[in-house]
Structure 1
Amino acid sequence: MRSVSGFIQLLRSLTTCPLQCLRKASRTVATPWKVQASVMSVFHPPREGITLEYLFRPVHHVLLQPVVPAALLLLHLRYPEAFQRALPLIVTSAIQPRFITRTLGGLLTFGVLYKLNRYLSRLVLNNFVKDTSWDWEREIVLISGGSSGIGQEMVRQFGERNIKVVVLDVNPPQTPLPTCATFYKTDVTSSQDIRDVAAKIRKDVGDPTVLINNAGVANGKTILDETEEQLQRTFDVNILAHFKMVKEFLPDMIKKNHGHVVTIASMSSFATWAGVTSYAATKAAALAFHEGLAQELRARYGADKVRTTIVHPVWVRTPLSHGLVRKMASNQVLLEPGTVAEAVVSQVLKCEGDQLILPARFNFVPFMRGWPSWLQESARSDGAQVIQSGN
C-alpha cells in the first residue's frame, strides 16, 4: 500500500498544483548535433502574449501524451476508491466515476492516434531514413532576404548557436551580423547575380548545406491596380528565385545526399484574399514547388537524405506587411518575426523535413479546399476585410 499511497500523493499534487509540478519539467538539453537548445517551459508566455496556443499548451504537453492518461486510467481502474480520494472534493461531487473512465479513455485514444499520425508523417516526409552525418560545426546555412524581418531573426538565432550563416539580400543588414555570418549583396531575381555570388560563397565559406528561400515581396494591390512591373517583381522574388537558387545550390546537396531546402511560404498558399492575389498566387506556387522538389529528390535523384521543409505563417510583423498591420484589428493574429524564425531554426536543427503551419490553431486551413463553397467564401471575405483595413 505504500506505493499506492505514494502514487496518490503524486496524483494529488498534480491535480492541486499542476503549475509547480510542470515547471520542474523545463530543462536545458544537449541535442545529438552538439547544439545546446533551451527547452521552453510549458508556461513560458510567447512573444505575442497570451494566445490560444499558450492557453492550450498544457493540454498538448501533458494530456496528449498517452502515458499520462494511461497511468491515470490504470490507477482509476485498479484503485477506484483511492483515486477518488486523491481528487478534490469539488470534482468527485460533480463528476461520476464512469465519466472519468470515458474521459481518460478518450484522451488516451486521441493521444495515441495523434502520436501515430505525427510519427507516420515524420517517417514519410523523411523517406524512412535518418541522416546522422549532420555536424553543426561544419554546416553552412544560406538565407535569402536575411537583412530584415524573419530572415534577420533566423540569422541571429543561428548565430547564437555559432552556426555559419550566409546572408543574401539587396539591402544591407539592419543590425550587426554575428561573427559567424557573412553578407553578400545579391539580387535573387538575377540568375547571373546568383551564379556570381555562389562562386564567391564556395571560395570564401564553402558549399551551403541548408538553403532557406525566405526573400519575399507584396504590394497589396488589386489585379487591376497592380502594374506589370509590380506583378513581375512579385513572381520574380517570391517563386522564380526559388527555382534559380535551387538550380545553383541543390546539385552539391544531391551529390553528397546531404542537405535541407526550406521554403518560406504563407497561409496564402491555401486561401486567396482580395488585394493580395498575385502574392497568394506565388505562395500557392511555392507549395507546389516544395512538393515537386521533394518528389524529384526522392524519385529522380535518389537523394533520400536531402530534407525539404515548407513554412506557412499567418500575418507576421515585418516590413513586408507594415502597411497592413498598422490598422489591423486587435482580434487578428499577428506573429512576431522571432516566433517564425524560432520554428524554422528548430526544424532545421532537427535535421528533418516537415510542413509547419503557424500558429498551430490554423492546422485546419489546408482542408479549406474541401469545404462547401459558401464556407470557403465566408473565410475569404473575413481575410479581405483585414487587407482593406491596412490600405
Structure 2
Amino acid sequence: MLNFLSAPIITSLGVLIGSLVLYYLQTKISERVINNFQASQTWIPENELVLLTGGSGGIGKRIMEDLSRKKVRVVILDINQPTFELPENVTFYETDITSAESLSETGAAIRKSHGEPTVIVNNAAVFHHGTILEKPVEKLRQTFEVNIISHFLIMKEFLPFMIRKNHGHVLTIASIASFVTLGDMVDYACSKASALAFQEGLRQELKYWYKAPNVRTSTVHPMWVRTPMIDGFTKYQADFRQPLLAAKDVSQVVVEHIITRKSGQTIVPRHSSVIGSLRAFPLWLQEAMRSYLSRIVLRVGIKRAADENHSSRVP
C-alpha cells in the first residue's frame, strides 16, 4: 500500500512523528517535575484570595478583570489609584510595594477584611528609556526596587502562611527580556532576568527548605505588549515594526496557571518559546538577534529624541 511513497518521504514522516512524540513526552515530564509530582488540587474560587500588584492599569488591570469575571476575590496593591470602577469582588489598597512598612500595614488590613492571600501575582513593573550612562541613578534604583526587590518583600509578608498550609501559588510576570538584553533597557532586562532567577530559587526553597511542594510557582514571559509602558516604542510603529500582544493575551495565560493550579514557565506567544533557549545558541547567533533588535530600539530612540527636542523648542 505504501509503494507510492518514496523512502525519503517515509523517513521524513517518521522523523516528524518521532519529533512530535518527543515534544509531547518532554512537555509532560517537565510539567510533572516542575509541579513536584503533586497532583493539582481542585480550584474553589471562594476559598482563594489573589493578591495582584500593579492592578490599576495595563496587564494587571486585564488580569483583575478576567479573574473578577470568574468570581475570584482580588486585592490590588498599587501606588496609583484606579481610574475605573472596581467590581464588587475586587478591593484596592494604595501600597508602596518597595516598602516593608507599607506592605506590613496593608497586609494587616487585608487579613482583617479578607483573610490571607493564597495567590500572589507579581505584576507591577516600571521601565525607563536610556542607556547605562544616560539613566539617572534614582531611575535605576526604582527599576530594581519595583521590578525585583518588591518580590522579596512581598514574600516575607505573605509567603509564611502558604508554607504553613502547603497551599498557594506565586506567579511572576517577567519578560522576554529575561533572555534577551538590548541597549536602552539594560536595567530593565537585568531586573527581569532577576525575576526569573527569583522564581527558580523560590521553587527550590519551597521544595527542600520549607517542605511545601504544593505551593505552586509560575513565570510568564511576554514579548512586546501594547500598554502605556511601551508607548515610547509603539508611537513609532513604522520604525519599530514589532508584533504586539494585547493585555488579554498575557492575562489568559496567567489566569490559566492560576485556575488549573499548575506551576509552569510560559513564553507568550507560545510559538516563540524557542527564545527561552537563546543562551544555548552559538554566540554569533545570540549576538545577531540582540544586534538586530537593538538597532530597531536605537532607530526608534533617535526619532523619539528628535520629537522631544522639537517639542521643547515649541513656545
CA contact (8 A) 2:74 2:91 kept: yes
Which of 194, 213, 232 in structure 1 is aligned with 2:122?
Answer: 213
* 296-305 vs 330-339, greater mean Cα deviation: 330-339
- Secondary structure of 1:363 counterpart: helix
One-letter amino acid matched to 1:185? E
Asked if the contact 1:298–1:304 (Cα under 8 Å) also holds between the matched residues in 2, the reply is: yes
Distance 1:178 1:97, change over 3 A: farther
Q: In the alignment, does 2:111 pair up with 1:165? A: no
Unaligned runs of 5+ in 1: 1-79, 85-94
- Cα distance in 2 for partners of 1:96, 1:331 equals 43
Q: Structure 1 length as normaliser, TM-score?
A: 0.73
Deviation string 1:301-330 (CA, Å, 9 cap, x unpaired) is 000000000011111111111112211347
- Residue 268 of structure 2 corresponds to 358
Matches within 5 A, 1:352-391: 352-388=262-298, 389-390=300-301, 391=304
CA contact (8 A) 2:43 2:259 kept: no
Residue 267 (structure 1) aligned to one of 165, 176, 179: 176
Give the whole-Å Cα distance in 2 for the aligned partners of 1:368 and 1:132.
34
- Deviation string 1:226-250 (CA, Å, 9 cap, x unpaired) is 1111011001000000100111111
**Does the aligned pair in 2 maintain the 1:220–1:387 contact within 8 Å?**
no
Could you say which residue in structure 2 is the equivalent of 1:198?
107
On the 8 A contact 1:317/1:336 being kept in 2, the answer is yes
Residue identity matched to 1:242: H
- Does structure 1 residue 231 correspond to structure 2 residue 140? yes
User: 1:193, CA displacement in angstroms?
Assistant: 0.6
Residue 313 of structure 2 is matched in structure 1 by: none
**Cα separation, 1, equivalents of 2:7 and 2:83:** 60
RMSD between aligned alpha carbons?
A: 1.8
Mapping of residues 218-297 of structure 1, within 5 Å:
218-297=127-206
Q: Which residue of 2 aligns with 1:53?
A: none
Between Structure 1 and Structure 2, whose CA radius of gyration is higher? 1
Equivalent position of 1:346 in the other structure: 256
- Paired position in structure 1 for 2:245: 335
Cα distance in 2 for residues equivalent to 1:174 and 1:146: 11
Deviation at 1:100, TM superposition (A): 5.9
Q: Does structure 1 conserve the Cα–Cα contact (< 8 Å) formed by 2:222 and 2:250?
A: yes
Please list, as runs of the form range in 1=range in 2, the aligned pairs for 1:91-240 lying within 5 A after superposition.
96=5, 101-132=10-41, 134-240=43-149
- The answer to whether residue 208 in structure 2 is matched with residue 299 in structure 1 is yes
Moved more, 121-130 or 317-326: 317-326
* 3-state SS of 1:137 partner: helix
- In the TM superposition, 1:312-323 aligns within 5 A as 312-323=221-232
Letter paired with 2:215? V
Larger relative contact order (Cα-Cα within 8 Å, sequence gap ≥ 6): 2
CA contact (8 A) 2:240 2:296 kept: no
In structure 1, what is the Cα distance between the partners aligned to 2:279 and 2:7?
40
The answer (yes or no) to whether the contact 1:126–1:353 under 8 Å persists in 2 is: yes
Structure 2: which 5+ runs fail to align? Answer: 305-315
Separation in 2, partners of 1:116, 1:382? 34
Q: Percent identity?
A: 43
For each residue in 1:1-23, what CA deviation from the matched residue of structure 2 results, as whole angstroms up to 9, or x when unmatched?
A: xxxxxxxxxxxxxxxxxxxxxxx
Instruction: Render the CA deviation track for 1:122-178: whole Å, top value 9, x for unaligned.
Output: 011000012425422221111000010110000000011011011111111233222
Give the total of aligned pairs: 300
1:354 maps to a residue whose letter is G
